[in-house]
Structure 1
Amino acid sequence: MDLPTLIERNVAFAPDKPAIRFEGTVLSYDAFNRRIELAARALKSELGVEKGDRVAILSLNRPDYLVLLYACARLGAILVPLNWRLAVTEQLFILSDAGAKVLVLEHAFEAILSVLAERLLSTAIVGLDFAPGRGSGWDELLEGGRGDGRNAHPGLSCPVLIVYTSGTTGRPKGAVLRQEALLWNGVMSQHMHGLTSADHVLTVLPMFHVGGLNIQTTPALHHGATITMHPRFTPDATFAAFERDRPTLTALVPTMIQALIDHPRWSTADLSSLKAISTGSTMVPQQLIAAVAARGISALQVYGSTETCPIAIYTKLGGDPAGEGSTGLPGLCCEAAIINDVGDGLPAGTPGEIAVRGPNVFCQYWGNGQATREALRDGWYRTGDIGHCDGDGYFWVHDRKPNLIISGGENIYPAEVERVLLEHPDVAECAVVGRPDPSWGEVPVAYVIRRSEAQIDQHALTAHAQSHLARFKVPHEIIFTDDLPRTALGKVEHFILKAIQAKSRPQVNNS
């Protein structure tokens, strides 16, 4: 058995059921399965893709993204999704590091073809919706495929994805996920969402990220549900889909939810088809959860990472309200624990590092044995996140371990300070990082984006923080800015701000 078997089973049960809707076209489960077969044949016969070979894709969301994923699984090959927000040099590093045999390139990124072709001399380039000049077009390739489209002995134990992390500590690392990781991740998604074949998922998160690919999208296909897919997120298109396509589920990161809440249509749009919005990727402000709930929609939190496929800890649709405000309970098919630096479990209520173990967890960092050994110990993945588990087993995430500020021997979690700042009505977004200090070791500094037309100054915001936080947690400086460095999913890149502060001169305490 392999992942494409799940698609084949759904064809047997409901061949004409819509699998994917995209820009006015509908791909039934039967048509989706036949296109997977064509793609697998073409990759094998025309491009010589063998078991273990890497096939990269640089594309916005589109049905053939998923076709390529399952075609790779059918061959025992490995898909390497490329983040289209990266610089070309960063994409070239990933392609080189992964040793991609094939690159499938969407026409939207045709402008970088000359650079790629010059540097990727041994990589076959296939154009989606265009002829790249060097190599063939995707549809042309599929038409020429022949043979059975299978390699020997692919199965659930075969790697199927190499997804590169954001590289907060240097070069990005490629987390290798086996087919079984996606299978068990899908089981947990079904448990989390009450997912059935009657559901309709709206996919707007980019599928180069495991969140867009695996929180709801691949689980929906495994359970015979329908997906409506957008090339990328825009508030207007999302509202139109809510009212026209009537999805029951969608996954959005907090910045997307905020964009919807700030939109004029938020209060009047018909959202009645939605039974839940899932969110995560970063700390989720409680006011977003409350705003979604006020529209009669369950807001589900999911915690995980690229390395966990990503579902690891979550709140469940219709779950026990006793854990309200937490990130949830360990998933149905994995374990989670709070550990100290030597790996020992910590008692309830004690902050420590979150660790995850289960069949959904990655098996290695591609070509990086040292990083693999540091992250995976006795089957436990050390996430680098700090949190605690309460007496009822609910997990609470405090912050990323690298973000921790130690000031005068006291631990300061930036997320706690950010939460307080965000409670001020004039603050739209913020990020808190540590600045080197000769007296305290580090002191907190806040970067703040004001809401439109807000006039709040540093003194007023500092006073707000002082009324809610211990003095040592209050930012020593508040820097107002128009933007913050972010990942493709809107997660603030604290390490960039921290590097800026490391180069700055210590400031006088003006809090």
Structure 2
Amino acid sequence: MYPNWILQRAYLTPLRNALTYKEQTWTFQQLNELSIQRARQLTALGIKQGDRIAIMGPSKPELVIMIYACMHLQCEMVMLNRRLSQAEIAYQLEDSEAVVILIADEDIEKLPSHASPLLFSAIEKGTEASIVISKEWSLHQTTSIMYTSGTTGFPKGVRQTVGNHQASATASVLNIGLQADDTWLCAVPLFHISGFSILVRSLLYGNKVHLYDYFDVEAISQNIIDGDVTHMSVVAVTLERILHTLEQRSAQASSRFKLMLAGGGPVPVDYLKRAKALHLAVAQTYGMTETSSQTATLASEDAMSKIGSAGKPLFFNQIRIAEPNLSGEGEICIRGPHVTPGYIGRFAQKSATVDGWLYTGDIGYLDDEGYLFVIDRRADLIISGGENIYPAEIENVLLTHPAVKEAGVCGIDDEQWGQVPIAFVVLKEQIQIDQLLAFCQKFLARYKIPKKIIITDKLPRNGANKLLRRKLKQ
């Protein structure tokens, strides 16, 4: 058993600042008291300890407090991505069998019409019931559930336990170090593992989170210039926007700013050179939802000598290459205490690991010094602005349209987003491309909608009639 992170942090450093949003700041003690109050209000509404609940809201203090309240109740939190379509959210609600949906008032329109959620405002005004907050948590207790796209086109609900998050945060701090006045700027969504892991690290390390509900490049750049923050998580597209802003201002990062963790795909060499000129240390990382954030990280001092590498596995983690070819390239496999114990819903019976190893589907190799190089992210995966897009998801939607006979999707390079999806379709009957795009808008998040749809007579397939997506680009 391990301590309830929220209680323990409030006990150890009650008056230390925990969260800043706009002009307001909360201490760890204040967040603990507010979250316990919210837990009592949730209990009065019938939510029981250990219930599986779905939660959605923008990255604001109200969401942080609601998350901590659910953690106090040891609920399993299905973190709903507010960028998804109603159809995608409906699938996750049905698959997860969440007993209730907790939602910020401003997000109510994002839910399918048949949903009956509890609004944050109603919870906050509600009565309180007496509860006993557990002072200890089991390492095997599921804390969060995040849906990740799959090659089948059906997203999988990934379980992340207390032990997974704790191992991830501990391995990260052993890599980057810790000081009491460190402040992590969080401008990534809290429903993503990148955002949620920042909250976990805050509780375990006792560091402040400087929270943004959207990517405000001007304000964020000023924080970096002024030294208000010491760390930040970015993807390539947001890093470039910060670099551009600093360059436009002829400004540099404060000496107090320590590190940017860059995930969601490789960082272009040009960005690394520009960052170095601005005194901005960038550490590239490799991780996934199934590993509760980072598995490997490239130290910033190695960025130029190991261009294209994701670094070495963090302290508790192991990486091996399965069935390598003559060049040493094969499937990346991961083992460690940060790896998910499994899935929920339709994939509940699917084992996450084989003999303890998570087979990622990513192709890569380890060089002579043990540095990981990722060649292909899950073969057909499209990474657009840090968001993972599986072609099968888009193809499945297109194939439900009565005018579409066949559909194939691939990613093409994009200056702003890294990659964007495009679709190739074989038609059964004539239809306007604009009509197909409008159809996609009903069922897909905006970032998944093909940037271009190309009508073709046939799609490239192999002898087994399997779609060859790599040939779509050609």
Question: TM range, normalised to the smaller chain?
Answer: 0.7 to 0.9
How far residue 19 of structure 1 moved from its aligned partner, in angstroms, is: 0.1
8 A Cα contact 1:36 1:68, kept in partner: yes
- Tell me which residue corresponds to 2:346: 368
CA distance in 1, matches of 2:60, 2:165: 19
- Tell me which residue corresponds to 2:30: 31
Identity of aligned residues (%): 24
How far residue 347 of structure 1 moved from its aligned partner, in angstroms, is: 8.4
Which residue type is aligned with residue 107 of structure 1? D
| Cα distance per residue 1:416-467 (max 9 Å; x no partner) | xx9xxxxxxxxxxxx9x9xxxxxxxxxx98845469xxxxxxxxxxxxxxxx
How far residue 371 of structure 1 moved from its aligned partner, in angstroms, is: 6.9
8 A Cα contact 1:182 1:360, kept in partner: yes
CA distance in 1, matches of 2:64, 2:8: 17
SS in 1 for 2:257: coil
2:145 aligned with 1:150? no
- Tell me which residue corresponds to 1:49: 48
CA distance in 2, matches of 1:292, 1:189: 22
- Tell me which residue corresponds to 1:461: none
- Tell me which residue corresponds to 2:292: 309
- Residues 496 and 337 of structure 1: is their aligned pair in 2 closer, same or farther, counting only changes over 3 Å? farther
- Structure 2 residue corresponding to 1:67, chosen from 65, 77, 88: 65
- Structure 1 residue corresponding to 2:86, chosen from 88, 91, 116: 88
- Residues 391 and 450 of structure 1: is their aligned pair in 2 closer, same or farther, counting only changes over 3 Å? closer
CA distance in 1, matches of 2:140, 2:413: 46
Question: Which segment drifts farther, 296-305 or 72-81?
Answer: 72-81
CA distance in 2, matches of 1:227, 1:348: 46
| Cα distance per residue 1:13-42 (max 9 Å; x no partner) | 321111000121111011011122222222
8 A Cα contact 1:20 1:229, kept in partner: yes
Which residue type is aligned with residue 388 of structure 1? Y
- Tell me which residue corresponds to 2:200: 218
2:321 aligned with 1:338? yes
- Tell me which residue corresponds to 2:242: 260
8 A Cα contact 1:348 1:390, kept in partner: no
Map residues 44-443 of structure 1 onto 2, 5 A cutoff.
44-51=43-50, 53-112=51-110, 115-116=112-113, 119-120=114-115, 125-128=117-120, 130=121, 137-141=122-126, 144-150=127-133, 154-214=137-197, 216-243=198-225, 246-263=228-245, 266-272=248-254, 273-316=256-299, 323-340=306-323, 346=324, 350-369=328-347, 372-373=350-351, 375-403=352-380
CA RMSD for the aligned pairs? Answer: 3.6
Which residue type is aligned with residue 239 of structure 1? S
Q: Structure 1: any 5+ residue segments left out of the alignment? A: 131-136, 341-345, 405-413, 419-430, 434-443, 452-484
CA distance in 2, matches of 1:299, 1:56: 34
CA distance in 2, matches of 1:81, 1:236: 28
- Tell me which residue corresponds to 1:40: 39
8 A Cα contact 2:159 2:343, kept in partner: yes
How far residue 161 of structure 1 moved from its aligned partner, in angstroms, is: 0.7
How far residue 251 of structure 1 moved from its aligned partner, in angstroms, is: 0.5
| Cα distance per residue 1:132-151 (max 9 Å; x no partner) | xxxxx13213xx22323436
How far residue 154 of structure 1 moved from its aligned partner, in angstroms, is: 4.4
Q: Structure 2: any 5+ residue segments left out of the alignment? A: 392-408, 417-439, 461-470
Question: What is the TM-score of this pair, normalised by structure 2?
Answer: 0.78
Which residue type is aligned with residue 12 of structure 1? Y
| Cα distance per residue 1:41-67 (max 9 Å; x no partner) | 22234323232x212121110123333
SS in 2 for 1:262: helix
Which residue type is aligned with residue 224 of structure 2? F
Question: What is the TM-score of this pair, normalised by structure 1?
Answer: 0.72
- Residues 263 and 15 of structure 1: is their aligned pair in 2 closer, same or farther, counting only changes over 3 Å? same
CA distance in 1, matches of 2:220, 2:24: 17
CA distance in 2, matches of 1:348, 1:61: 47
- Tell me which residue corresponds to 1:21: 20
If asked which structure has higher relative contact order (CA below 8 Å, sep 6+), I would say 2
How far residue 352 of structure 1 moved from its aligned partner, in angstroms, is: 0.5
- Residues 23 and 450 of structure 1: is their aligned pair in 2 closer, same or farther, counting only changes over 3 Å? closer
8 A Cα contact 1:76 1:155, kept in partner: no
| Cα distance per residue 1:55-104 (max 9 Å; x no partner) | 21211101233333333333221111111111111112111211122222
